[in-house]
Every structure is written in C-alpha cells, then in structure tokens.
Structure 1
Amino acid sequence: MNNWKPRVSMGIPVYNGENFLREVLDSLLAQTFEDFELIISDNASSDRTEEICRSYAAKDKRIRYHRQEINRGPAWNFNRVFELAQGEYFKWVAHDDIYAPEFLAKCVEVLDRDDSVVLCYAKTKFIDSEGKILKEYDYQIATDSPQPAERYRSLVLVNHRKHAAVEIFGLIRSDALKKTPLLGYYARGDSVLLVRLSLLGRFYEIPEYLFFNRDHSQRSVKEKQVQIARGRTIVAKFLGMGPLPPTEWFDPSRKGKIDFPEWRLFYEYFISVKSFPLAVKEQISCYLYLGYWLFKNWMKLVRDLLIAAEQLVRASYKAQKIIEISLEKRF
C-alpha cells in the first residue's frame, strides 16, 4: 500500500486543453521542489486532452488523472481538484499557463517561514499563444497588510477591468481553503474566494517573475459568447454596459434561469465578513468599505433588475405565443 502524502497538491481543471496542456505539464514536472502530486480533472473533453493526460500519468506516478462523463462546468471542476487533494499546500493550475522551475520552491519557503501568510504568489507576465511576453502585470493590492479590513478593502474595491485575480493561482494553505465554500458557481467567484482568504490571513507576492499567464484568442471563449449574448438585451444596449456573464456558464444546471450576478456579488461580499472571526472594529470597517462599493456600483445593480424584468417579459411573450400556436392547431 502506498501511504505517500505529498506536501503540495496541484490541480488542473481542464476542458479541451490539447493546445497548451503539454507545456504546462512540462513546466510543472520541471519544478525544483518535487514533493507534490498533480491532479487533473478532465471535464469530458472531446479533443486529445485525455490522450495527453494519460500518457503523462503513465510516465510519472505523481500525476492522477480523473475524467468526468459529462461537462459539469468550470466552477465544479475547479473545486473537484481540491476535493481530491491531499497536500498541506494547494495550488490551482490553468491548462494554458507556464511556471518558472523555482516557483513552487519559493512559495513553499514563504509558507513554511510565516504562519500569517495563507497565500503566496509570484509576479506575473502575460504571454501570447506562442509564449512571447505581452506585458508585465503590476496591479498593486494591500493584501499583505496585517489588518483584515484593509485586505478586504483592497480586493472588494479593485478595478476588475485591470485586476486579473492572478493571485488565485498562488500556493494556498489547504486548511485555509477548507474554511471557505471554495469557488462559487457565479461570476467573479474567484474574486470572492480571494476576499475570503484575505480575511483568514495575509498574501505574499514573491518579487520575481515566476508565473506566465497566457492570454490568447481561445481563452474563455464560452464566457465571452454568453456575455455578448446577454449583452444584446435592450436594457444593456441602452445603458451601454456589458453585464457580467450569467450564472449558467459557471453552473450548467442554471441554464435558462433568471439571475442577478451583481446582486450575488454584493451578497457574497456581505456574508464573507460574518463568516470569519473578526474584531468588531474590523467588521465595521469592512461593512463601510462595502457601502462604498454599493455607492460605486448602484447602476449595475439597477441594470440587473432591468435585465431580469426584460427577460421575464420576453419569456411571458414566448409562452403566450406557444399557447396561441397550440390552440390554433387544436381548433
């Protein structure tokens, strides 16, 4: 019986990732820190993803490959790899990114040295489909502050157009992740998870470019498509704002159901404050920052309501037409 328990678990949730999968696997297997397991959860890929994964798993016993019979959505798949993890530390890996060989070693060193740090990540560069550097990513956040409310503020009030939430691909204490609901099945679930982790402890950024986040034409194609489709509503066109992707992209079981993604984001930020033991002063500060978020985003919340109302009207009109057609056929 193999009782080996790795110090680090890494999880790759993947769907149709044949184009870049070999590159990320090679960069992970080249890590100077070798005491890790690599868990791959394949969301019913229809390309050569399964073939690639099984060939790598056959060569390295640290790799465990799991295939789903149906596509359960990206959020479920992200959470699944953590549920299968055994390590003291955990890291999510996108199938199209690349890591410097010393990434893991330097992150482990930080977490081993400082118990107040719950998440360690490295400076990031964006690369294209060929691996060429596009730009350096430099978004300053105060997640290294000793004050939970300050960490909360820096993540809740970020400019989401500029903040890419790359910290989610850092090395995280598994015990801290277990205290959260993991990745939510809704838009910006990664941002909410970062907020919750920040209330549990500090983040630390390694001041070296060790993470290469790939930006390419095939990235999150489905998300862009549903966002465009949802943005074609009369309300969105009139207000001139592109709404968040609907929940159905993150949770396929919600397909066709009306949702309120901006309200959901506010709700998750709100309950996060009560989810962890914070001093009263820190709680009050967090709620004040969230109040400012409301002030900045009230129009988006109104837009959610208007889009939902428009969807109800359209659904009612469609149902009425179906009834009329059915009656005409009957009589």
Structure 2
Amino acid sequence: MYKSRPQLSIGLPVYNGEKFLQASLDALLNQTFSDFELIISDNASTDNTEEICRNYAAEDQRIRYYRNSSNIGCACNFNRVFKLSNGEYFKWAAYDDLHAPDFLSKCIQVLEENPNYILCHSHTSFIDHQGEFLQHYDIKLNTNSEKPQVRFDELLTKHLCYQMYGVIRQSALKKIPLMGGYGNADGILLLRLSIIGQFYEIPEHLFFARIHPQQSLSMFFPHYLSFTHKNPQYSLDMLPDFYEYSVWFDSANKGKILFPHWRIFKEYLLSINQSQLNLYEQLLCYFSVAKKLAGTESLLIKDLWLAAKMLKLQKLATKDALS
C-alpha cells in the first residue's frame, strides 16, 4: 500500500522529453522496489511532455507532476524536484536514461546495510537512441575510500558525473548547497557529497545512459563522446564550452559576463573551506586543487579574453543606442 512518506523520492526534471520519456518512466515504475514517489518537474516543455506526464500521473498515484510557467534552467529544475521530495532517500532521474528492474532495490539494500555510505550507484553502460547497447563506461573512481581527501581528489578527475543518478541519503544532500547555476555544477555537488561520506558502486551494469543529439553532453561536450555504431569510443581529453554550459545550468546567465573556469575553481576552494574536514585533510584537498590548476592557465586567460570581448560589444551596443 502506498504510504504518505515513501522511503525513496525520485526527482525527474524534464524539458521537451517526449521522444524518450515514456521508456524512462516505464523503467522506473516497473522497478522491483516500489516504495517511492516520483516527482516530475516539467520545465515549460513545448512538445507532448505535459500530456505524457499527466496520463502517467492519472494511472499511478506515486507520481506527482508539476509544470513550471517558464523555463527556469537546468539547475533550478533539478533543485526543485529535491525540494518537493519527502523520502528518506533521494534519486535524480533523467528523462532519457534507463534502469535495470533491480537498480533501486540493490541501491537501497546497500545504503540500509552500510550507514557509512551516503550514495550508491552502479556501473554504467551507454545505449543509443533506440536503446541498443553501445559500450560500457569504464571510468572507475575510488569514491569508496574511507579518506575524504582521497574521494575529493578522485572526483577532480575528468568524468561524466553519472554518480548523480544514484540513490543518495536525503540527510547528506541537506548538508550541502544544491546545484549551482554554473558549468560543472553537478561535478561540484558530487565533490561536496564526497567530503561528507563514501560512495558505493555496485559492480553490475544496472544504469543505461542514452547517447543522442538532443542531450546536454552532445550539445556542450562535442568532443567528449565520439561514437560510431560499429566502433564506439569516447575521449575525456577535450573540454566543453563552459560558458554555454553555464547558460544551460542557469538561463539567467545568458548575455552576462561570466568567468566560468574561475568560478569552478572558486567552488573547489569553497567546498574545502566550508567543510568539516580537519586541517590536514583540508591541506591535502587544496593540494589536489593546485594540481588540477596546473596546466589550465590558458582556460583562465580565455575567460578574461571572452569577458573583455563581451564588455567591448556591450559598450558598442550602448553607444549605438544613445547615438
């Protein structure tokens, strides 16, 4: 029987997700673990997303559907589903990804049996737009370490933040700032969680990340994932356009003078400074950030060049408007 306070809350932020939304919802609703609420926040979609969601909500009382009157950006929509949640555990879900039927049950079991773990996820596999297997995601990080400085250092490595879609203790999420409106905000959130506690990765491929042209990875990380059907491969050596990524996370950033790479390093430092780590652990984390900073001077200079260029354009626009 459905309870007023479920054990798990699933938050699904979505914008124009009609192509893959039904498959994603079916995979969640058909989980072997059923004691959850599913909170959908529709970011003012212009396709059939609203109709799909309302039809599903009418059929399953675990679903709560909300629609924003305007697009509030990715970060605010991700944060909204968490703020609306009631469960002891929380999980973000994407409208285009899939989960094995026992994903939730296995994650919940790990967290119930191991109080030191604050987040549980599984191995990830990539699928294409038709749901066909492409390849396994093979970047493994030592986020299970008992040492917070090790977990922090591991998550500074280039990765695709799929731990975000694991099951997380709500109490842990309430201890940190939610997702910010800047590039790599999901990575910063994971860093801050790693300072609080250990992650556990189930050694089974239970999470299936869909690769398609409409997703954020494809739009802002054009060189991250270079797939062909016969020979899928990916590289993490190329960086995305963090300015455009900042606008995607927070639409209010559009047209503003931003320093996206400077902002990321600022958030690294704030994550350490505002933590409960002891002095030794903090120093090791600062050292990790210093290593990360080495060799990225060109990115920081690029921020300054772009800001100067935008400032010049703004001054010219103002001058033309006054003349």
Q: TM-score, normalised by structure 1?
A: 0.89
1:194 to 183, 190, 195: 190
Match of 1:118 in 2: 118
Q: Is contact 2:143-2:199 (8 Å) kept? A: yes
Deviates more, 1:103-112 or 1:136-145: 136-145
In structure 2, what residue type is equivalent to 1:195? L
Match of 1:236 in 2: none
In structure 1, what residue type is equivalent to 2:205? Y
What is the CA–CA distance in structure 2 between the aligned matches of 1:200 and 1:111, rounded to whole Å? 15
- Residue 223 of structure 1: CA displacement? 4.8
- Residue 140 of structure 1: CA displacement? 1.8
CA RMSD across the alignment: 2.0
Match of 1:291 in 2: 290
1:177 to 173, 183, 189: 173
Match of 2:91 in 1: 91
Residues 224 and 279 of structure 1, relative CA distance in 2, 3 Å threshold: closer
Match of 1:245 in 2: 243
- Residue 224 of structure 1: CA displacement? 3.6
Deviates more, 1:273-282 or 1:57-66: 273-282
SS in 2 for 1:31: coil
Residues 122 and 39 of structure 1, relative CA distance in 2, 3 Å threshold: same
Mapping of residues 135-150 of structure 1, within 5 Å = 135-150=135-150
Pair 1:210 & 2:210 matched: no
In structure 2, what residue type is equivalent to 1:167? Q
Match of 1:164 in 2: 160
- Residue 226 of structure 1: CA displacement? 12
What is the CA–CA distance in structure 1 between the aligned matches of 2:239 and 2:198, rounded to whole Å? 34
What is the CA–CA distance in structure 2 between the aligned matches of 1:180 and 1:261, rounded to whole Å? 21
In structure 1, what residue type is equivalent to 2:241? P
Match of 1:134 in 2: 134
In structure 2, what residue type is equivalent to 1:245? Y
- Residue 126 of structure 1: CA displacement? 0.5
Pair 1:56 & 2:51 matched: no
What is the CA–CA distance in structure 1 between the aligned matches of 2:286 and 2:251, rounded to whole Å? 32
Residues 84 and 192 of structure 1, relative CA distance in 2, 3 Å threshold: same
Pair 1:40 & 2:40 matched: yes
- Residue 242 of structure 1: CA displacement? 5.8
Q: Is contact 1:226-1:245 (8 Å) kept? A: no
Match of 2:234 in 1: none
Runs of 5+ unmatched residues, structure 2: 224-237
Match of 2:228 in 1: none
Q: TM-score, normalised by structure 2?
A: 0.91
Q: Is contact 2:220-2:240 (8 Å) kept? A: no
Q: Is contact 2:24-2:96 (8 Å) kept? A: yes
- Residue 254 of structure 1: CA displacement? 2.5
Q: Deviations over 1:256-286 (max 9, x none)?
A: 1100110110000101012221121101100
Q: Is contact 2:74-2:249 (8 Å) kept? A: yes
Deviates more, 1:3-12 or 1:94-103: 3-12
Mapping of residues 316-327 of structure 1, within 5 Å = 316-324=315-323
Q: Is contact 1:42-1:68 (8 Å) kept? A: yes
Aligned pair count?
A: 307
Residues 189 and 196 of structure 1, relative CA distance in 2, 3 Å threshold: same
SS in 2 for 1:95: coil
